[in-house]
Structures are given as C-alpha cells and as structure tokens.
C-alpha cells in the first residue's frame, strides 16, 4: 500500500510541532481531557483492544495515512498487521474481528450505508455496549487520522528501525 | 439510514440528554466524553457562534438529522442567528458571512472532504487569520462533532425530520 507522507522530518504547517501531542499542546486542558478519553478506549471491557487496533489500522490504510499506520496502540496476533489489507481472505482473523472490520470499512466510506446486519454481527459478539464502544472508537480513530493528514504531520523515524 | 435504533439505551433516566442516550452503555467513556465536549464549547479561544458554524456544516455533510436541527443556546447568545445559519450552505463563499466565518467553513470542508489535500493557499490564509490555538481548537471541534454525529447515525434511530430545537450544553 502507498501512504500519504509529508516527509520524514519537519513540522506541521499549523504549529511548530512534529506530532499530535505537540500540536495539541496549544490547548493543554483540552489535550489532557482528550488524551484521557482516547486512553480509556484501550481498557474497555466491552471490546478487546486488539479488535480496536485492527480497526484503527484499517482506517489508516483506507485514509492512506502513514503517520497513523506507523503507530501501535495495542498488541496484535502475529501476522495480522501485514495481512490486514487482505483481511477478507485471510485466515488470521476470527469472526468477532471480521464483524468489527466489516463494520469499520462501511463506516469509513459512508456511515449511512451501514446495514442492520453489520451492526447485528458486532452485537452478536460484543453486545449493545460493544457496538456503542466500537462506533465511539471509530469516531476518535477516524478523527485523529483525518487530523494527522490535515495538519500534515511528518512521518517520524521509528525507534529500532 | 436506519430509522430503528440498533441499541437500547439504559432505562434509568437522569434528565441529561447524553447520559440518557445509548452512550451510557459505555460508562467508562461517558465522563471523559462530556469533559471534552465542555472544553470544546467553553475552553477554547473561538466563541460558541464560531464553533456552531463548524458543527452545523459538519451536520449538514454527515446528514445527521438531530445534529442539523439542534442549536446550542450559547451559540445563539454569542450572535449566531438563523439568517447566518442559512448561509452555511453551498455557495457560502459568495454569502454575507465574514471572511473569518468563510475560512471556518473552508477548513471544515477540507477536513470532511480530503484532509490530505489542504493547499498552501488555504494554509496561509488560515495562519493569517487565526492563532495556532484557534486552529487547534477548530480542528478538535470539527473532529469531535464529526465523530459523534457519525456515532449517532451509526447507532440508528434517527428520525427523517424534526423541528429546530434549542439545547443547552449537557453537564
């Protein structure tokens, strides 16, 4: 896959900042509250963090965001990251993950096109609360991906690479 | 669009429109969400009328019927009236909105349409008009409204239409 990349060094056009936290530092109180909300997602009992991470990464792929793709927020099973682009035909994803990814893809393209069957598939694995948690998380992930692109955050070198 | 709700909100009612919604099914995020929402409206350099312009532009694009038809009372108090709301449509560039308000709409559209393609011309006009804190505030407001309007649409139960309704910021 090819990703939008605005250079391996440099700053956002909007602020003297190289990453999300540095941009958000312009509004410290909001940054702290937002960070708390975002962090909460990864500890929710309603949905495994790994399923959320798969959806976050899939949104990064669909938006062609190198910055978001580069990040890692939760551990995945071996091979899943590389197989994500072909998840419908891969055997590395279980039915619960597939339900979330299927919902995520339609959410990304046209929220109004989500079908009752797609919502029901998520609920079968995670219940009503799981579906709510998923759409909340997708909103935050999609938002951060769009902002990374809009702010033209640079791709930073990854430690150890 | 699904007119039937896809989840059942908790039966216990508090009188708070957010706490009584299906978002209450995930109590872990409820207070953090409300804290972010309050800071978006009250904790930044942009006034509530400017924030409301961006919110309504998003609501129109996402076609969230509820979001489109509510008006925050603090935005009205800050000077947003229906004649101005009517200008948040296609062709706003030629409207009587101020240059600052038009820039808010251009930035919102860029976020909603193709955020990666923001050009240097728009960047420069934004930087000439807004401070960094204002642009971060606007960015976070648009992102917040976009995410939660899509949340509302995704969970179903949206009416086909509803009357205009004035609301206060939930506690």
Whether the CB of B137 is below 8 Å from some CB of chain A: the reply is: yes
Which residue shows structure tokens 């139960």?
A: B157
Q: Judge contact between B18 and B30, C-beta under 8 A.
A: yes
Q: Taking the domains of chain B in order of start, what are their residue ranges?
A: 27-167
Task: Give the pLDDT band of residue B1 (cuts 50, 70, 90).
Answer: low
Q: How far apart are CA A48 and CA A64, in angstroms?
A: 24
pLDDT above 70 for B4:
yes
Question: What is residue A159's predicted lDDT score, i.e. its pLDDT?
Answer: 60
Kindly state whether B23 is in contact with chain A, defined as any CB-CB distance less than 8 angstroms.
Answer: yes
Domain limits, chain A: 20-150
From the list B123, B139, B147, the residue facing A139 with the nearest CB is B147
Contacts of B123 in chain A (CB under 8 A): 13-14
Residues 144-163 of B with CB under 8 A from A: 144, 146-148, 150-151, 153-156
Q: Has residue B57 got a pLDDT over 90?
A: yes
Q: Side-chain half-sphere of B91: how many Cα atoms within 13 Å? A: 3
pLDDT band for position B171 (cuts 50, 70, 90): confident
- Those residues whose C-beta lies under 8 Å from the C-beta of residue A30, and which sit 6 or more positions away, are A24, B36, B39, B40, B43, B44, B136, B137, B140
Closest A-chain CA to B35: A33
Identify the CATH homologous superfamily for domain A20-150. Answer: AhpD-like (1.20.1290.10)
The pLDDT tens digits for B106-157 are 999 999 999 999 999 999 999 999 999 999 999 999 999 999 999 999 999 8
For residue A135, give the nearest of B4, B111, B151 by CB distance: B151
Taking CA A87 as the corner, what is the angle to CA A131 and CA A146, rounded to the nearest 5 degrees? 60
Q: What is the ipTM of this complex?
A: 0.96
User: What CATH number belongs to B27-167?
Assistant: 1.20.1290.10
- pLDDT above 70 as % of chain B: 99
CB of A34 closer than 8 Å to CB of B140: yes
Instruction: Give residue-wise pLDDT tens across range B80-91.
Output: 999 999 999 889
User: Which pLDDT does position A28 carry in this prediction?
Assistant: 97
Higher-confidence residue of B158 and A134: namely A134
- Predicted pLDDT at A5: 66
pLDDT at position B3, please? 73
CB within 8 Å of A128: residues ≥ 6 apart? B7, B8, B22, B25
Kindly give the parts of chain A with pLDDT less than 70. Answer: 1-2, 4-9, 158-161
Report yes or no: B156 and A119 within 8 Å, Cβ to Cβ: yes
Q: Which of A29, A140, A144 to mutate to test the interface with B (most CBs of B within 10 A)?
A: A140
Across residues B7-15, what is the average pLDDT?
Answer: 89
Taking only residues 70 to 109 of chain B, the set having a beta carbon closer than 8 angstroms to any beta carbon of chain A reads: none
């Amino acid at each position: 896959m090819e990703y939008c990349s605005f250079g391996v060094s440099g700053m956002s056009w909007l602020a003297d900042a190289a990453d999300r936290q540095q941009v958000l530092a312009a509004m410290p109180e909001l940054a702290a509250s937002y960070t708390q909300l975002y962090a909460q997602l990864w500890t929710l009992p309603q949905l495994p963090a790994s399923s959320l991470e798969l959806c976050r990464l899939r949104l990064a792929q669909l938006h062609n965001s190198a910055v978001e793709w580069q990040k890692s927020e939760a551990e995945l099973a071996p091979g899943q990251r590389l197989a994500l682009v072909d998840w419908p035909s891969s055997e590395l994803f279980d039915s619960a993950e597939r339900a979330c990814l299927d919902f995520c893809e339609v959410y990304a393209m046209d929220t109004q096109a989500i079908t009752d069957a797609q919502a029901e598939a998520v609920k079968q694995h995670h219940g009503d609360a799981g579906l709510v948690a998923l759409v909340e998380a997708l909103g935050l992930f999609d938002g951060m991906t769009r902002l990374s692109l809009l702010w033209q955050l640079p791709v930073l070198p990854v430690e150890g690479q | 669009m699904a007119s039937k709700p896809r989840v059942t909100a908790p039966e216990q009612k508090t009188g708070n429109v957010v706490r009584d919604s299906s978002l209450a099914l995930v109590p872990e995020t409820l207070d953090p969400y409300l804290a972010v929402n309050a800071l978006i409206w009250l904790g930044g350099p942009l006034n509530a009328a400017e924030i409301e312009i961006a919110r309504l532009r998003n609501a129109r694009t996402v076609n969230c019927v509820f979001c489109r038809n509510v008006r925050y009372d603090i935005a009205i108090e800050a000077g947003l009236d229906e004649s101005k709301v009517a200008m948040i449509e296609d062709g706003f560039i030629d409207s009587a909105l101020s240059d600052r308000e038009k820039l808010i709409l251009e930035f919102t559209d860029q976020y909603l349409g193709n955020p990666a393609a923001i050009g240097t011309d728009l960047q420069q006009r934004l930087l000439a008009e807004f401070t960094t804190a204002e642009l971060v505030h606007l960015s976070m407001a648009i992102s917040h409204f976009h995410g939660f309007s899509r949340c509302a649409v995704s969970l179903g139960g949206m009416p086909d239409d509803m009357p205009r309704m004035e609301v206060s910021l939930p506690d």
